[in-house]
Chain A
Amino acid sequence: MNSAVMKKTMYFFVLPALVFYCIFWIFPIFKLFQYSVTDYNGYVQSFNYVGLDNFKQLFQEEVLSISIKNTLIYTAITVILGNIIALMIAVLLNASISGKAFYRSAFYIPTLFSAIVVGFIWSYVYMPQEGLIASFLEKIGITTWDTNFLGSYSKSLYSIIVVDIWKNIGTSVIIFLAGLQTVPHELVEAGKIDGAGKWKLFRFITLPMLATSVTINITLSVINGLKAFDFPFIMTNGGPGISTNTLIFAMYKMAFTDQLFGKAAALGIISFAIIIVITILCVFTLNKKEVSA
């Protein structure tokens, strides 16, 4: 059945997807490399080649180091905290209790909201004085805390990270829960009989069996974190100052607000390199772990 002619005909099936993918995804990346060495502004069609000037400029500016730092913090916290909380919820849900479907849905509902709606809702939660947290604190008599979450240089980044975790945790919970359900009950019982404590049961039986779900969840949240854009865009506009700029947000702003397409393309190339290196490192480490677990 696997004749050479057959194979050639079969590849026709890839064509529609390949055409779209190459025109609208791969080709623009090459274009981006070209723009990164020009002074293109996005409107006037003529542009000059300026060599590595865009990159040199970027390396002298604060915005690059701040966006790299913010993106890394954003990714680290959403990956670690998000997955730990999701795993804890999934373990709780995996106990034989009634109403499992209700709880699962309750954690899943925020993932159904558009980022724009989530941004609006959490802007209210974080409002100083009249927002949810501020008025709750006032109700219970705490008035000395600073409640300007989104307007503070030190708190705004962490505040939007919380929103990201809130929005995406439902998906991770469902994936962990599906993984937990593949852990054979007999194995856990056998461990119990051998006198393993709760932590040991979890560490040496449950967690290794969860390897696939852990890999999927961590990979997806690493990619999601490195591409962070929505909440700086909707909730803080990168501010105050540039304190919540992520790489992708800084690039977008450079292109569409400051009309520096060439420089934005250069920042895009830098971001792309960072994203690829981190993703590859992460995938390789996880694959190794998965095999040895």
Chain B
Amino acid sequence: MTTGSLFKKLGTHVLLLALVFVNLVPLIIVLSSSLRSPKNMTNPLNWFNEFTLESFISAYTRMNFPVALWNSVVLTVISVIFVVLFAAMAAYPIARIRSKTSKFLYIFFLAGLVVPGQMVLIPIIQMIKGLGIPLGQYTPILMFITCSLPFSTFLYTGFIRSGVPEEIEEAAYIDGAGIFVRFWKMVFPLLLPVTVSVVITQGVWIWNDYFFNMVFITKSIDAPLPVAMLGFLGDQQNPAQWNVLFAACILCALPLLLMFLALQKYFVGGLTMGSVKG
């Protein structure tokens, strides 16, 4: 390696490290402050000048962490299962059949991407009451599933079109296997890569969503993590509350961060799936 290219590499590293630092500096300060006791009011810029879990304990009890975490898990898991089933099923005929109807359905679903959830919400509260659907812990799931359908159906359709040729079903078809058997036994298992992508992209937004949860969930015992965070609203204006607020921020983000660190490969692959296949 020549000295020239060595310098170039060093330069790239320095530049990237500087960018990473600027990017992560708010998070570093949040972490360092969360490790202080709630009474420590020295400027947050003095990093890591105390190590105690007092603020974490206080945040943990205030947001009722185990309950909120469990609620988040329940909401996300149920929603994602339905999204995967519904979107994969819907994509199957849309990808397989070449007709005006299937083309229309494809665009009809995709068009839903541009609709803001807040806009739909105004009539939906009335409708949900009208349909006799009880408002409560599980109501947001309806919106999570619906909101996720456009993008997930788009991903599945693209994948089936380019990656699951009709020929693989031919032998089973000749043997008389019905369409349900062929879909669930042959096609669906082949969709695993794109299912990973759907689970990750949709799972992350559902896990992090505060909006539908905030609107539909009224009891604090039913609140998932982002809604539990809403209880700290106002504290960001008050420096005396910062250490506990920051500990709550870390607690709220921690499950997903750990998940990301453990499954990094799948996160990156899942995100790029739709973009490369187009």
Chain A residues at the B interface, C-beta cutoff of 8 Å: 1-2, 6-7, 9-11, 13-14, 16-18, 20-21, 23-29, 31-32, 35, 42, 89, 92-93, 95, 97, 99, 101, 103-117, 119-125, 127, 130, 132, 135-136, 139, 166, 171, 174-175, 177-179, 182, 212-213, 216, 223, 226-227, 229-230, 234, 248, 251-252, 255, 261, 264-265, 268, 271-272, 275-276, 279
The residues of B that contact A21 with a CB separation of less than 8 Å are 109, 112, 146, 149-150
Q: How far in angstroms is the closest Cβ of chain B from A186?
A: 19
The residues of B that contact A178 with a CB separation of less than 8 Å are 271-272, 275-276
Query: Which residue of A has the minimal Cβ distance to B232?
Result: A120
Q: Would you give 30 A-B contacts (Cβ < 8 Å), ordered by A?
A: A1-B173, A10-B179, A11-B97, A16-B85, A17-B87, A24-B146, A28-B124, A31-B123, A95-B12, A97-B12, A105-B260, A106-B23, A108-B267, A110-B27, A112-B208, A113-B249, A113-B256, A116-B210, A117-B226, A117-B252, A117-B253, A123-B236, A124-B26, A132-B26, A174-B271, A175-B275, A212-B275, A251-B122, A265-B123, A268-B122
The residues of B that contact A116 with a CB separation of less than 8 Å are 210, 226, 229-230, 252
Query: Which residue of A has the minimal Cβ distance to B230?
Result: A116
Q: How far, in angstroms, from A97 to B13 measured CA to CA in the complex?
A: 8
Cross-chain contact of A212 among B13, B85, B173, B276 (Cβ < 8 A): B276
Q: How far in angstroms is the closest Cβ of chain A from B203?
A: 11
Is there an interface contact between A271 and B119, defined as CB atoms closer than 8 Å? Answer: yes
Is there an interface contact between A120 and B236, defined as CB atoms closer than 8 Å? Answer: yes
Is there an interface contact between B119 and A223, defined as CB atoms closer than 8 Å? Answer: no
Q: How far, in angstroms, from A78 to B126 measured CA to CA in the complex?
A: 34
Query: Which residue of A has the minimal Cβ distance to B20?
Result: A106
Asked, given contacts A21-B146, A32-B119, A97-B13, whether A10 binds B92 with beta carbons under 8 Å apart, the answer is yes
Is there an interface contact between A179 and B236, defined as CB atoms closer than 8 Å? Answer: no
Cross-chain contact of A213 among B19, B20, B150, B275 (Cβ < 8 A): B275
Is there an interface contact between A123 and B237, defined as CB atoms closer than 8 Å? Answer: yes
Is there an interface contact between A14 and B272, defined as CB atoms closer than 8 Å? Answer: no
Is there an interface contact between B27 and A109, defined as CB atoms closer than 8 Å? Answer: yes
Is there an interface contact between A13 and B92, defined as CB atoms closer than 8 Å? Answer: yes
Asked, given contacts A25-B112, A135-B45, whether A35 binds B145 with beta carbons under 8 Å apart, the answer is no
Is there an interface contact between B149 and A20, defined as CB atoms closer than 8 Å? Answer: yes
Is there an interface contact between B123 and A216, defined as CB atoms closer than 8 Å? Answer: no
Asked, given contacts A25-B112, A229-B116, A268-B119, whether A136 binds B12 with beta carbons under 8 Å apart, the answer is no
The residues of B that contact A105 with a CB separation of less than 8 Å are 260-261, 264
Q: Is the interface of B mostly helix, strand, loop or mixed?
A: helix
Cross-chain contact of B122 among A95, A111, A119, A255 (Cβ < 8 A): A255
Chain B 69-90 residues near chain A, CB threshold 8 A: 85-87, 89-90
| Nearest 10 pairs of A and B residues by beta carbon | A31-B123, A178-B272, A17-B90, A114-B208, A123-B236, A10-B93, A28-B123, A24-B146, A17-B86, A13-B89
Q: How far, in angstroms, from A106 to B264 measured CA to CA in the complex?
A: 12
Q: How far, in angstroms, from A96 to B44 measured CA to CA in the complex?
A: 37
The residues of A that contact B142 with a CB separation of less than 8 Å are 20, 24
The residues of A that contact B153 with a CB separation of less than 8 Å are 17
Is there an interface contact between A117 and B122, defined as CB atoms closer than 8 Å? Answer: no
The residues of B that contact A261 with a CB separation of less than 8 Å are 122
Is there an interface contact between B236 and A139, defined as CB atoms closer than 8 Å? Answer: no
Can you list, as one digit per residue, whether each of B200-224 has a CB less than 8 Å from chain A (1) or not (0)?
A: 0000100111110000000000000
Q: How far in angstroms is the closest Cβ of chain A from B237?
A: 7
Q: How far, in angstroms, from A31 to B130 measured CA to CA in the complex?
A: 13
Q: How far in angstroms is the closest Cβ of chain A from B133?
A: 10
Is there an interface contact between B90 and A16, defined as CB atoms closer than 8 Å? Answer: yes
Q: How far, in angstroms, from A204 to B252 measured CA to CA in the complex?
A: 45
Q: How far, in angstroms, from A14 to B232 measured CA to CA in the complex?
A: 42
Q: How far, in angstroms, from A7 to B26 measured CA to CA in the complex?
A: 55
Q: How far, in angstroms, from A271 to B257 measured CA to CA in the complex?
A: 35
Q: How far, in angstroms, from A108 to B257 measured CA to CA in the complex?
A: 10
Is there an interface contact between B271 and A132, defined as CB atoms closer than 8 Å? Answer: no
Is there an interface contact between A106 and B225, defined as CB atoms closer than 8 Å? Answer: no
Assuming A21-B150, A89-B16, what are 6 further A-B pairs, CB within 8 angstroms? A10-B92, A17-B149, A32-B119, A107-B23, A121-B246, A125-B26
Q: How far, in angstroms, from A32 to B127 measured CA to CA in the complex?
A: 11
Residue in A6, A14, A171, A182 with the greatest tally of chain B CB atoms within 10 Å: A14
Q: How far, in angstroms, from A103 to B261 measured CA to CA in the complex?
A: 13
Asked, given contacts A21-B109, A89-B19, A279-B114, whether A14 binds B271 with beta carbons under 8 Å apart, the answer is no
Q: Does B96 contact A (CB under 8 A)?
A: yes
The residues of B that contact A255 with a CB separation of less than 8 Å are 122
Is there an interface contact between A13 and B90, defined as CB atoms closer than 8 Å? Answer: yes
Q: How far in angstroms is the closest Cβ of chain A from B220?
A: 15
Q: How far, in angstroms, from A103 to B92 measured CA to CA in the complex?
A: 38
The residues of B that contact A251 with a CB separation of less than 8 Å are 118-119, 122
Q: How far, in angstroms, from A136 to B26 measured CA to CA in the complex?
A: 12
Query: Which residue of B has the minimal Cβ distance to A136?
Result: B45
Asked, given contacts A120-B232, A132-B44, whether A7 binds B123 with beta carbons under 8 Å apart, the answer is no
